[in-house]
Chains A and B, each alone.
Chain A
Amino acid sequence: TQLLEQSPQFLSIQEGENLTVYCNSSSVFSSLQWYRQEPGEGPVLLVTVVTGGEVKKLKRLTFQFGDARKDSSLHITAAQPGDTGLYLCAGAPGSNYKLTFGKGTLLTVNP
């Protein structure tokens, strides 16, 4: 089983602050995805990165895939209370149809 380690496990910040969460593995992934999960709901896909070194932006969220395709980061600029949720990374070790999930980073943005 290829493991994805997410850090930090919990993060509580004030509105307007910046933050970065990390997703690391010793294994290479053909693609990596980030999901956000709100209480009582299923995870929702935010982005997929497939190329080493790739950077994608989604409004105030910036996602980066490591050059060696073993790690990824999610940076949020000027966090808002609506960003609160559980952020999950998931990697496809080979074929993209079977994902390995990290345990998640629980983000709380206080107004």
Chain B
Amino acid sequence: NAGVTQTPKFRVLKTGQSMTLLCAQDMNHEYMYWYRQDPGMGLRLIHYSVGEGTTAKGEVPDGYNVSRLKKQNFLLGLESAAPSQTSVYFCASLKQNNYGYTFGSGTRLTVV
């Protein structure tokens, strides 16, 4: 099993550009999450999904949108990138009634 796969691994955007980060999991997990990790700030939840077709806001949702059209995929969109969105983004998944997230290896995004 591949686990949680994030693409791309690195990306540089110009301010105002848009992009989509893709997260794919092959473990049939119900829950999926997008976090950002910044120095001194820890992991902060952006959006999450408790099942196919559902999404919910986390702690820092502004400037991001998400979609979960298929159970195995969770997409994070930036419509108009800002330098404040420079960060490392992690996707995670969790099987219902289990403990412990499975994380992807991250996407390092720089907005210039």
Contact = CB atoms under 8 A, between A and B. Distances in A.
B74 interface: no
B50 interface: yes
Interface stretch (A55-63, A73-81, A99-107): A99-107
Interface residues on A, range: 20 to 34
Contacts, number: 48
Contacts of A103: 40-42
A27 interface: no
Contacts of A111: none
Could you tell me the dominant secondary structure of chain A's interface residues?
A: loop
A11 interface: no
B59 A1 contact: yes
A98 B99 contact: no
Nearest to A43: B103
Interface string B57-68: 001000000000
B42 A97 contact: no
B104 A42 contact: yes
A60 B28 CA distance: 33
Interface string B95-110: 0101111111110000
